[in-house]
Amino acid sequence: MASKGQNFGLSEEQVALRDAARQFVQAEIVPVAAQYDRSADFPSAIIKKAHALGLLNLIQPSTVGGTGLSLFDACLVIEELAAGCSGFATSMVANDLALTPILVGGSPEQHKRFIGEIAKSGAPASFCLTEPNAGSDAGSLTTQVSRDGDHYVINGAKQWITNGGVADQYTVFATLDKTKKHKGICCLAVPANTPGIVRGHHEDKMGQRCSNTVALTFDNVKVPVANMIGAEGSGFKIAMQTLDLSRPMTAMIAVGIARAAYEHAISYAKERKQFGQPIAKFQAIQIMLADMATNIEAARLLTLRSAAMLDAKIPASLESSMAKRFAADMAMEVTTNAVQVFGGYGYTKEYPVEKLMRDAKLMQIYEGTSQIQRLVIAREILE
């Protein structure tokens, strides 16, 4: 289903790219996914190997050392990564999320410096928008930035920061003046070794456990004025434009999770016998499998369409949110039904589907909950 489903007019290069990602995932990620789920360790060594193969910083320009893929091609790679383990995929895609604000709002010099150094080293980077009291309502963030001569000084707290405990660089959103709401928000590139940054403990999450998630505090963190990305006050728009670009990538993580669950469910349904025949012969199971196949395909198409639009520079907040919303909810349903196909066995850690169900839940929460996506969709269609 995977190859048939994806094979609509892909060029030879795209098929080769997808297959290279699939081979890497089979060799490096699948054999250790359960182990990393247990340990919740960050898979640095494997991500370094992915970087060496050009599977990191996917949409960052090759002129500054990124892989330089279109969003569409990045999505092909991301589905494969996530079908192997979404904890790995999230850790890797988090780099594009962190670097894209710089791509969107930064000067060529800033691209070279803040994208180029991460792209060259393959080090993790983090997008720091969310705060303890500013999640869905990102515009209400309170981390403060103030000008001090040739520097900006940052004070505040960030929450649920992917790669936060292992990153070399943070893209931090902070406000010059809370009373200005989103118009006061700025975007700054902050090297992780800047004095005053305190990293919290790695959260003990339900799923995507090897993806590193921490709280960060910024205590008089001082960066040169040259680290301001875009103009003062343009940070919220930069964040929103970034999320438009990253939501198709996140949607594709959901597609990858669902595809893996579906493939496990199909194989198991063909093997498992009840009432004298494989359970795949029963319509009750066939209907579940048929719905899984259809919904995965629909999510993939919605996602690739939004990616193609963004590649063509067509505004696609609507399509990007539709893809993220549909794919996330679809992955939750598909993985839940995959556990159902496995019955009692599916509910144990001996089989991979319970992990996929735990992993899928996060898709409905991060990078804008399913409810926030509906809010964006409703605003767009009612405009």
Binding of residue 363 to ligand CAA (CB under 6 A):
no
Question: Minimum Å distance from CB 382 to ligand CAA?
Answer: 13
Task: Identify the helix (H) or strand (E) that includes residue 359.
Answer: helix 353-363
Q: Nearest distance from residue 135's CB to ligand CAA, in Å?
A: 7
CA neighbor of 238 nearest in space, from 380, 94, 139, 370: 139
Using a 10 angstrom Cβ sphere, with 0-12 exposed, 13-18 middle and 19 or more buried, the burial of residue 102 is: buried
Report the alpha-carbon distance of residue 193 to residue 342 in Å, rounded. 47
Q: How far is the CB of 160 from ligand CAA (least distance, A)?
A: 6
Can you tell me which of 5, 68, 139, 191 binds ligand CAA, judged by CB under 6 A? 139
In the complex, least distance from residue 211 CB atom to ligand CAA, rounded to whole angstroms: 8
Of 13, 367, 380, 383, which one is the catalytic site residue? Answer: 367
Residue 203, interface with ligand CAA (CB under 6 A)? no
* Binding mask of the shown chain, residues 95 to 134, with x at each position contacting ligand CAA by CB under 6 A: --x-----------------------------x-xx----
Output 140 or 340, the one with its CB closest to ligand CAA. Answer: 140
DSSP 12-25: HHHHHHHHHHHHHI
Backbone phi, psi, residue 261, to 5°: -65, -40
Give the distance, in angstroms, between the CA of residue 328 and the centroid of all CA atoms in the same chain: 11
Residue 61 contacts residue 238 (beta carbons within 8 Å): no
What gap in Å lies between CA 299 and CA 203, rounded to an integer? 29
Kindly list the distances between the CA atom of residue 289 and the CA atoms of 296, 348, 360, in Å, as whole numbers in the listed order.
11, 21, 18
- Asked if 245 touches ligand CAA (CB under 6 A), the answer is no
**Contacting residue, 77, 78, 189, 243, with ligand CAA by CB under 6 A:** 243
Is position 366 an interface residue for ligand CAA (rule: CB under 6 A)? yes
The stretch near ligand CAA (CB under 6 A) out of 51-59, 167-175, 293-301, 369-377 is 369-377
Q: What SS3 class is residue 195? A: coil
* Rounded Cα–Cα distance for residues 306 and 171 (Å): 25
CB of 138 to ligand CAA, least distance (A): 4
Specify whether 367 is catalytic: yes
Whether the CB-CB separation of 365 and 332 falls below 8 Å is answered with no
Q: Scan residues 298-327 and list those touching ligand CAA (CB under 6 A).
A: 317
Q: Which of 67, 110, 162, 227 binds ligand CAA (CB under 6 A)?
A: 162
Return the active site residues.
367
Binding site for ligand CAA (CB under 6 A): 90, 94, 97, 127, 129-130, 136-139, 162, 182, 236-237, 240-241, 243-244, 317, 366-368, 372, 375-376
